Amino acid sequence: MSRTTVALLGATGSIGTQTLEVLRREPERFELTAIAGGAARVDQLIAIAKEFSVARIGVPTNEARETVMEALAGVEVVVGDEGLSELASSADTVVNAVVGFAGLPVTLSALRSGKRLALANKESLIAASTLVEKVRHTRGAELVPIDSEHCAIHQALAGASAEAGYPDVRRLILTASGGPFRGWDSTALDTATKAQALAHPTWSMGPKITIDSSTLMNKGLEVLEASALFGIEVGRVEVVIHPQSVVHSMVEYVDGSVIAQLSKPDMRLPIAYCLGLPERLDHAWGALDFHSPLSLEFFPPDRANFPALSIAYEAARIGGGAPAWMSAANEVAVEAFLGERITWRQIVEIVSTTLDRYEPTPIETLSELLEADRRAREIAIASLPK
Ligand code: NAD
Ligand code: MG
């Protein structure tokens, strides 16, 4: 049996590292042929290349390219967005584990080249949903979600009618842990610190998505992600707080049946699901033990104290470039928060004020999208304290 080739882009991060764990357990099934990472942790990229004998490596700068070339003989090293695009067209399955809008070349190139795209990088799909729609029907192309909620929905939709728009589905119900500030009132939230925001109760993830989880912007992004992935309007995508992170999301059918996917929170499960499809890999990551007590709770989200959720629905309602603006402004704000330039409250304020200044643009071409992203960042950066 020939092995499935895998390109893992964003190999040094949280999803990247967990994908490597899955690949280590399946050496006969998968061959890691390409990896890429950002500016930090070039040493880690080199170590991965050595361990898996990877021949093609993507780095963001020429300087990093030199470092990799010196450390490894006989490898091909590609640079920047062009390099990411090239690697994303080079393997059977492409795991997009890059964080933020920087993952865009991976998403577009993998689908355009007719590959299976195992997508963790939600930001590219949200910003570029119209462009993704144009390339995802390329022969052989397949878009499967690593994001745990969407992976759960992908599984729960297995019995649904294949007709576009899922007419027998009433709604998708995304679960959210609520993050570290669940239940905090307005006064307490004024004092929220970076260390507190980074201490997620149920998941260990990269810094950007951890902050997004604390503001509920992650769930807002996921509402748009679900709508784009499954072709279901956001009015049929709901959010429910579920502190245990065991029910990863649900599909409610028109007859009232709710189909859910459950496991312990462990990203190796959705990663293995996306790599193995249509087969299930036999590792039982996240398997539940029903011999010990297990309580599952569900609450409505606190929209007043966590306005990011309503902002995301509003961006979807506006359409066009608004989701791209929202996501770009959020990236700027989260980076500023992690750099301790703004308070936790200001993250969503910056997103909101940037979106208020949205300049309506359709997103039909890549250059229109890049311009929308640039403009939103410009406005968001200008609103940061000097
Ligand atoms: P992370 O910060 O841990 O890792 C990000 C990776 O992207 C690193 O390898 C980094 O080097 C790479 N990167 C950054 N800029 C790059 C660039 N310009 N070119 C190439 N590589 C670049 O982030 P993460 O938590 O692993 O998240 C990755 C993506 O997966 C995000 O979009 C996130 O929303 C999504 N996601 C993550 C989790 C999780 O459990 N961590 C769960 C669901 C979805
Ligand atoms: Mg998620």
216 C-alpha to center of ligand 1: Å? Answer: 18
Q: What is the pLDDT of residue 159?
A: 87
Which pTM value belongs to this model? 0.98
Residue written as token pair 């969407």: 150
103 C-alpha to center of ligand 1: Å? Answer: 9
203 pocket-lining for ligand 1 (C-beta < 6 Å): yes
Q: What is the pLDDT of residue 190?
A: 95
Q: What is the pLDDT of residue 49?
A: 98
Question: What residue ranges of the chain have pLDDT lower than 70?
Answer: none
209 pocket-lining for ligand 1 (C-beta < 6 Å): yes
CB atoms within 10 A of CB 273: 24
Which of 254, 248, 241 lies closest to 269 in space, CA to CA? 248
Q: Which ligand is nearest to the CA of 58?
A: 1
Residue 80 CA: nearest ligand 1 atom is 19
Question: How far apart are the C-alpha atoms of 178 and 60, rounded to whole Å?
Answer: 34
Question: How far apart are the C-alpha atoms of 92 and 90, rounded to whole Å?
Answer: 7
222 pocket-lining for ligand 1 (C-beta < 6 Å): no
Pocket test for ligand 1, best of 15, 68, 117 (most atoms within 8 A of CB): 15
Question: How far apart are the C-alpha atoms of 141 and 92, rounded to whole Å?
Answer: 10
Segments of the chain assigned E as strands = 4-9, 30-36, 56-59, 76-79, 93-96, 116-119, 142-145, 169-176, 237-241, 247-253, 258-262
Listing from the earlier edge strand, what are the strands of the sheet with 4-9?
76-79, 56-59, 30-36, 4-9, 93-96, 116-119, 142-145
Q: Does the domain made of 4-145 have the CATH classification 3.40.50.720?
A: yes
Letter for the amino acid at 48? Answer: I
Q: Which residues surround ligand 2, an ion (CB under 5 A)?
A: 147-149
83 pocket-lining for ligand 1 (C-beta < 6 Å): no
Q: Which ligand is nearest to the CA of 60?
A: 1
| Cβ–Cβ under 8 Å, residues 151 and 280 | no
Residue 255: CA atoms inside 13 Å, Cβ hemisphere, count? Answer: 3
Q: Which ligand is nearest to the CA of 177?
A: 2
Strand partners, 258: 252
| Cβ–Cβ under 8 Å, residues 20 and 8 | yes
Q: What DSSP line would sit under 157-213, residue for residue?
A: TTTS--STT-TTEEEEEEEE---TTTT--HHHHTT--HHHHT--SS----HHHHHHH
What are the extents of the domains in the chain? 4-145
Q: What is the pLDDT of residue 98?
A: 98
152 pocket-lining for ligand 1 (C-beta < 6 Å): no
Question: How far apart are the C-alpha atoms of 167 and 161, rounded to whole Å?
Answer: 7
Q: What is the pLDDT of residue 203?
A: 87
Q: What is the pLDDT of residue 253?
A: 98
Going by alpha carbons, the residue nearest to atom 2 of ligand 1 is 206
Phi (first) and psi of residue 249, to 5 degrees: 165, 170
Q: What is the pLDDT of residue 39?
A: 86
Q: What is the pLDDT of residue 164?
A: 87
78 pocket-lining for ligand 1 (C-beta < 6 Å): no
205 C-alpha to center of ligand 1: Å? Answer: 9
Token pair, residue 380, equals 């968001």
Q: Containing H/E element for 298?
A: none
323 pocket-lining for ligand 1 (C-beta < 6 Å): no
